[in-house]
Structures are given as C-alpha cells and as structure tokens.
Structure 1
Amino acid sequence: MNKKLSFGLSFALMTALLSACGGGNDGGSASQTPPASGSNSSATESASAPAAEPSEPVTLSFMHFKSDVTDGIAKIIEQFEAENPNITVDVQPVKYDDYGTLLKTKLASGDIVDVFTLNAGSTTKLYHDGGYLEDLTDLEFMKNFDPGVLAEQATDGRNYIMPLNAGPIAVFYNKKIFADLGLDIPTTYDALMESAQKIKEAGKTPFALGWKDGWTLGMWLSRDFPSNTVLIDGQTDFFDKLETGQAKFADNPAAHTVISHALDLFKFGNKDQLGVDYNGAVDLFAREEAAMMYMGTWPLGDIRKKNPELYESGMGYFPYPFSNDPSLNKLEFNPDASLAVNSNSENKEAAFKFLAFMASKAGGDAWVENTNTLSYVKGASADIAPAVTELQPYFDNGHLYNSQVFITTTIDWNTQFTQYVQKVFFNKATPEDIIKDLDDWVAKNHK
C-alpha cells in the first residue's frame, strides 16, 4: 500500500487505545540538519534481555521538547527513579521552537545528551544519517508496540526511535456557546467558517489563537497544507518532487488554499493573535472567552485546573474539517514525541533501562495520566478526559489519518511558510508574493 495514502496508523490499535475513554485523570517537526558524527552503533546484542541495573550510580541526561507538560514529566521521572534508585535523570525541558537548534548545538559541541526526543520522519532520518542514533530495533522492550506503528516510524527499515505518545489534533469547542447559538458540529470547512461568523456576530471570539509561538501556527499550517495538497488536489508526489527540485509551491493550488484559510482564522481569532502565546490561548478558552481552539490534547490538564466545570462537562472535541468533502475530513491522529538514545552516550545501559520503563504498561499509564496524551504502549490506559470521548466514533469506524506521512521532504518549508504568511495578515505581501518568496527560498537553500 502507498504509504502516503495508508494514513499511517493501525485502526485496530487506535480503537483499542480509546476503548476505555471516559472521565479524566490528572494529568510537532523541526527539520534541523544535525552535525556530522561517527557511524551508528547497534544495540542488537542486548536485544534478547532487558537492560541490567547499572552497578554504579548514573546520571542520565534527558532533553525533551515537551515543555508544555514539564510538571507531568517530572512526576513520571520521579516514578522511574523510585524504581531505579541507581539512576538519576537530569531532565532538560526545552521550548519546542528552540529545541532543534539547541540539540544541534549540543551535539556539535560534544555536549552529550544521553536520551532525547525526536519527531518521526525526516527529522529522525537526518539525525540517523548524522550518526547520532542508536539502533533500537531488536531490543526486547520494542515488542511492546504495534508492528504497524514501528514500521511507520522506521528509517531505512530499522527503528532508531521508540514511539512514546500520540494524539488527535482537533478543535475544542465550548458546548454552551454552541448550544446558545444553535450551532451544529461543523463537518465541512465552509460550515466551520459559518459557525465562526455567527459566533463573532454574537459578540464572542470564535477561535483562541496563540500565534506568538510560531509552532502553534506552524502546527496548523503543516496539516492543512499537506491535507489539501494530497487529498484535495491529488498531488501525492508533491513533496517528493519538492525534494528534488521538480515541483514548486506556485504550481500547487493548496498553497493558495492554505493562505486563504489562514486569513479566515486570523479574521475570526482573538485580538493580537501574534502577541498571544500558547498559554494565553489556553487561558482564553479556559475562561470561556473563545468558542473554539485548534489543538492537541496537551492543554487538558491546565483547563482542568483553571475551569473544572468546563473540563468535566462544558467542552467537546471535533475533527478539523480542512475541506468541503465530509468523507475526507477524518480525525487527524499524529505521533508526537519519540525517544532516541545517543549513539555516543557512555550511559547506554541506563538509557535502555529508561526506555524500557517508558515502554512498560506502568510507564505508558504514567505518561497518559500526567501528560493527557495517548501512549503507544500496548495495554496502556486511554483515560484522558471527557471531551475526548466525542472522538470515539472516529476510532471505532477507522476514520483516522495522519497528514504528516504525506510530507516526505527534508526541506524545512513549514518554518518559512509560517513566517511568510504573517506578512499577508498585515497586508505587507500578497499570497502571490509569499509563494514566490517560498519557491525562491527553496531554490536558494536546497540546490
């Protein structure tokens, strides 16, 4: 099956993951080219047995880009350290927008990070090609993941990252605002905009946008654009051709579509969208000052703290309808963070112990409970939050897809597109201008 059209995930696995969804518990890709390093080393020799307990105290460095759930990860680390008293984890949370640059800098300077998070796909391939990733394929704990998930995250047929978590990227909505205005859940893009218009006419803010943080705008753009490119315009090989210089954004109708959609969201967003960050957007939604928020499940813990009533019964969650074809507007379900072991680490034994814990049911349950995202670990809890139960029919019926598998290029087009599209918001450039600028940037930097 064509990987681009397979939608990447095992429907059976995802159905099992969400089969227990009910009440809540307490609870991105940067294409940075890594510096060159030595050759990859293999972990195959230790595949048949779990990692042994280090005989001497070890401090394991762990850098991650999940800074939005720093407190939750701290609780997970506490649990791991309690079970592994000889291992202390030096946790280094980094804001996502800064993560790729900092990781690249650390590796180039010889500042060894033992374990770090990566996004699956082109980012992993770049660090693998740079010689920085330990081969995890045959390690015993990798058996705790569905083979289909491992196949999707493989690089050249081998697994250099361990699946950690995944989740839907969809639209949170305020049930009371929708009910008061007689709004149905929109299943097409035009219906979404019609609902936004009615919300705005009622004197309320349709969308909570925190676009001061570039990743929030980039997260939406990097899903709307490939979805429209492949599923609407039928350009299944656009990103392949972009990589080899055979395609241009100017020849892709989806480039104009996504700019038009971005202008719509900007029109219906809160004031000062580019001055409000992720946390500010979550606050707007939690205070019920905005009717909708496009996001993963990450803010659920904060919303529960700030507005328990909204969390328990006042909010819902629906797939973002990127097109006017309801049959295509399935639920976006993406891998989030995966774990890698530095091939140059001197603490591989402890690193494998750390990954083995994260791959266990206890580790998977801890991740779900403390970060409000789903774990890929077989049998892990799926008890995230009441709002997530509204997505159950999409899992039951296999109406899932992963737009990120469409993006086969290593070119960091998304960062540039995110920066350029902001010019259109303030009439500093036309859509044609920024599309030309994007093609010029690709031609200049990727010959």
Structure 2
Amino acid sequence: MKKTHFLRAGLLGMLLVLAGCAGESNDSGSSDNGDSTQISFIHWRGEDKDVFDEIIAQFEEENPDITVEMTIYPSEQYQATGQRMLQDGSTGDVFTSFPGAQFEAIHSAGFFEDLTDEEFVSNFDEGSITVGQKDGQQFALPYQLVFNMPVYNKGMFDELGLEVPKSWTEFQEMSDTLLENGITPIAFPGADIGPNQFMNSMMMNNAPDEDVFEKLQNGEESLTNEWWVKTLEDFQLLEERGYIQADALGTNQDSAMAMVANEEAAMLATGSYHMASLLELNPDLQLDLLAPITVPEEEAQYEGIHTATFMLAVNSNSEKKEEAKMFIDYLSQPEVASKYANETGQHLTVNGVEYESEALQNTSYWIDERNTRFQPRFLITNAQIEAAVLSSIENVLGGEDPMAAAEQAQQIVEENRE
C-alpha cells in the first residue's frame, strides 16, 4: 500500500531532534499485507506529489511484489540533511540528489550505488547525464532538464511592444518601460529561494569561463576580481532602480509567483520549473524564458542557463537495491516520463519523451536552438564557498557595497578552500 508523507520544515526539524535523522524509516521492509517489499523514495519536489502518486500506483499495479513509500521534504531541508538520511539504508532506497555540492558530499560518503552497467542508463540522453558521473562511473541519473533563468510574461511584452533584450542597456530600457506602465520588472523570491537561480544568468556572461568556480576553489580566481564585483554591481542596480520589488529579501516564492500570475510583475526570477504552477494560477498567461544579458550584445557568449537535476540514485546501503533499480527503470520508460513531463511542466533527460503541453512545446526550442550554459552554481562543489557566494548577493541587496561584500565572501572562500 502506497504511503505519501509531505514534511514541512517545522515537522522536519522536530523529527531531526527526536530521531537523529530526517525522514521516514522503513524498518519492516514490507507492506501491510506482509507479502510485498516496500522501498523508500525520497525527494524535494512537493509540487510533483499528485503525478508521482499516480505513477507509483501504476508501478505497484505492474509490480505487485513491490510497494513504494514516498516522502517529500522542503528543498532547503533536503539539501541540508539529505546525506544524513541515507546513512543506515532504511530511508531512501531510491533518492534524489542535487548536482554540485550535494552530489559531491554524497559521493564522498559512499552512499551512491554504481549504476554504470544498468540497462536503463541507455534510456537517458547521453549528453545530459554527465553531471551524475564521477571517475567514469554513473552514480546518479538526472531526470529533469531545467532552464534556470527568469520566466517572463510574453503576452505582456507583446502588448507593450517589448522585445527580449540582447544587452544590459536594452535590459534596463525594457525595465524602465515596465516601470512606466506600473509593472515591477522582476519578482524576486529572496526569502526562500534567494539568488540561487537568478545568479546564474546574471553572471553567465560576466564570467564566460565555465571553469571560473573551480578556479575560485583552487585559488586561481577571486570574488574580488571584476567578474564577480560587476555581478554584484548589477544586482545593486536592480535593487536601486526598483527593477525588483521592495523588500525582495522578505518575499517568499508563493508571493513572488502571485505577483507574476496577477500581472503585477513581468518576470519571475526562478526558472522553467515554475511555469506549470504559474499557469495553474493564471491559465491565460503566455510564458517564455528570458535571461538578462549583462554585457554589450557583441560580448555575449550565452543566451541562457540549463541544468540537469533531480538526479535519481540508489542508496548503496539499501537492502532492496534490485527493487530500487526497477523503480528507476520504470520512471525512465518514455510513456511514464512523458506523463511526468506533461503533468509537471518539466523538460526531461529521458529519450523519446513527447511534450504535449503548450508551455513545454513553446519552450522546447531552448533545448536545441539556443546556446545555454550549465548552471554555474552547481559547479561549486564546496558548500561553504557556495554559501559565501550567495550571501554576497543577499548582502548587496540588503545595502552593502559590492566590493565590501565581495571581500567578505572571499575571506570565507580562503578559509574553506580545498
């Protein structure tokens, strides 16, 4: 029998105190009828609960000897405690991982089962799953292909005669036009998501070297250099000119989404993964993606940001690895992946997915026709350094001088350099 748990941050904190780890434990290994093997599936995508419930029910019908217990955590808590939940093997037979620092931490702890030789690996696009590899082995399989750049109201742009800006000057002119029409250019969810997504497109052309954060971690680069100070100055400009809403650092995700759904704001500073939710709030919206180009048009190398994320993996400590692999195999079947894609509004890394929703069809050109860069933030493999980078943006939005914020963050980088 399927059980779904959706743990909010407060309850999760209580469980951490009481149990010493987050999440539900499946100690019995069986369902209520005593005949089925029960596997634990943990992830952070609360908005996908309904479709996963349906997919799990279908999987259990086709595999009556296996039941799936799904537990969903808030993403911030999942990033903070995901590794800890996997330690004894009773939770997270199938689990998901973020790329970057979390992937590196879980790999270092030895909790990834090697999936290299599994047949279902071939169900995924070969070029999209390299982020789940380490030392020539496939430890995790990214399920989602996400564009981590602002979603914008294309219908509003058309009505106001606005075109997608191709330079930083054009971006400012576009924002000024929106303000003149009583519209906030960018809804920024600083209270919960923060600059985690928006930083990527803001710095992609300021620092076109894709190894810049690796160099930062090994001492070849510094946050006090021009590429990052300019990025902080660009964020300062957004705040000072009112291109993002007042009290942006106190605005949560739901409030920012409501601003866009109500057409009070033109852009949402998150990513493609919120398009389906925006359309649920306002089905009349026409949406597309827009990354700010922070340099002159002739200097721009990238048009946007992509990420292969929601990485499916098997816990190396699990006693139910074969059943766990069967579930991942099922999720990677084209018809199952298509159902997930169309009902959640996600582009996927699975081969043969058919996109039926209008939003996905209208944005699929970003996959093959635009020059996008893999999300730079996920190339920061040290969690303390990642936090320092993000905090420098929040400090500038809070009124700190960009160079002072960069110097403070660089000091933390130097203290935590590997």
Q: Considering the TM-score relative to the shorter chain, is it more than 0.5?
A: yes
Q: Deviations over 1:325-372 (max 9, x none)?
A: 365232322112111100000111210111000111122112202221
Contact 1:167 1:296 survives alignment (8 Å): yes
Residue aligning to 2:388: 416
Contact 1:65 1:94 survives alignment (8 Å): yes
Query: Equivalences for 1:65-214 in 2 at 5 Å?
Result: 65-108=44-87, 112-213=91-192
Contact 1:67 1:94 survives alignment (8 Å): yes
Task: Give the direction of change, closer, same or farther, for the CA distance of 1:383–1:189 in structure 2 (3 Å limit).
Answer: farther
Task: Give the direction of change, closer, same or farther, for the CA distance of 1:257–1:161 in structure 2 (3 Å limit).
Answer: same
Query: Equivalences for 1:377-396 in 2 at 5 Å?
Result: 377-386=350-359, 389=362, 392=365, 394-396=366-368
Residue aligning to 1:240: 214
Q: Deviations over 1:399-439 (max 9, x none)?
A: 33324398364354332222233232232x32122111111
Structure 1 residue 402 corresponds to structure 2 residue 377: no
Question: How far is 1:121 from its partner?
Answer: 4.2
Structure 1 residue 220 corresponds to structure 2 residue 198: yes
AA paired with 2:249? L
Contact 1:364 1:376 survives alignment (8 Å): no
Q: Deviations over 1:365-386 (max 9, x none)?
A: 1220222111211101223433
Structure 1 residue 352 corresponds to structure 2 residue 331: no
Residue aligning to 1:282: 257
The structure whose RCO (Cα within 8 Å, separation 6+) is larger is: 1
Residue aligning to 2:14: none
Task: Give the direction of change, closer, same or farther, for the CA distance of 1:400–1:247 in structure 2 (3 Å limit).
Answer: closer
Q: Deviations over 1:118-154 (max 9, x none)?
A: 1234532331221111000110111112332344531
Residue aligning to 2:305: 332
* Structure 2 unmatched runs, 5+: 1-33
Contact 1:164 1:336 survives alignment (8 Å): yes
CA–CA separation in structure 2 for the residues paired with 1:247 and 1:316: 34
- The equivalent position to 2:275 in structure 1, one of 292, 300, 308, is 300
Count of aligned pairs: 382
Computed over aligned residues only, the root mean square deviation of the Cα atoms, in angstroms, reads 2.6
SS at match of 1:170: coil
CA–CA separation in structure 2 for the residues paired with 1:211 and 1:405: 16
CA–CA separation in structure 2 for the residues paired with 1:397 and 1:107: 39
SS at match of 1:308: coil
Contact 1:187 1:329 survives alignment (8 Å): no
SS at match of 1:62: strand
Question: How far is 1:83 from its partner?
Answer: 2.4
Question: How far is 1:109 from its partner?
Answer: 6.5
CA–CA separation in structure 2 for the residues paired with 1:371 and 1:383: 11
Higher mean Cα deviation, 203-212 or 401-410?
Answer: 401-410
CA–CA separation in structure 2 for the residues paired with 1:167 and 1:103: 21
CA–CA separation in structure 1 for the residues paired with 2:130 and 2:280: 38
Contact 1:81 1:89 survives alignment (8 Å): yes
Q: Deviations over 1:229-256 (max 9, x none)?
A: 2x1xxx5543333222343211x21211
Q: Deviations over 1:87-116 (max 9, x none)?
A: 222111111111122213323566532111
Structure 1 residue 361 corresponds to structure 2 residue 334: yes
CA–CA separation in structure 2 for the residues paired with 1:254 and 1:355: 40
Higher mean Cα deviation, 169-178 or 56-65?
Answer: 169-178
Contact 1:171 1:295 survives alignment (8 Å): yes
Task: Give the direction of change, closer, same or farther, for the CA distance of 1:356–1:245 in structure 2 (3 Å limit).
Answer: same
CA–CA separation in structure 2 for the residues paired with 1:257 and 1:438: 15
Task: Give the direction of change, closer, same or farther, for the CA distance of 1:164–1:177 in structure 2 (3 Å limit).
Answer: closer
CA–CA separation in structure 2 for the residues paired with 1:257 and 1:386: 34
CA–CA separation in structure 1 for the residues paired with 2:325 and 2:172: 48
Contact 1:218 1:414 survives alignment (8 Å): no
SS at match of 1:336: strand
AA paired with 1:221? M
SS at match of 2:250: coil
Task: Give aligned-pair identity as a percent.
Answer: 26
Contact 2:89 2:318 survives alignment (8 Å): no
AA paired with 2:276? G
Question: How far is 1:307 from its partner?
Answer: 1.5
CA–CA separation in structure 2 for the residues paired with 1:390 and 1:112: 36
Residue aligning to 1:316: 288
Contact 2:149 2:197 survives alignment (8 Å): no
Question: How far is 1:322 from its partner?
Answer: 4.0
Task: Give the direction of change, closer, same or farther, for the CA distance of 1:72–1:211 in structure 2 (3 Å limit).
Answer: farther
Structure 1 residue 433 corresponds to structure 2 residue 404: yes
Task: Give the direction of change, closer, same or farther, for the CA distance of 1:424–1:176 in structure 2 (3 Å limit).
Answer: same
Contact 2:166 2:293 survives alignment (8 Å): yes
Task: Give the direction of change, closer, same or farther, for the CA distance of 1:237–1:441 in structure 2 (3 Å limit).
Answer: same
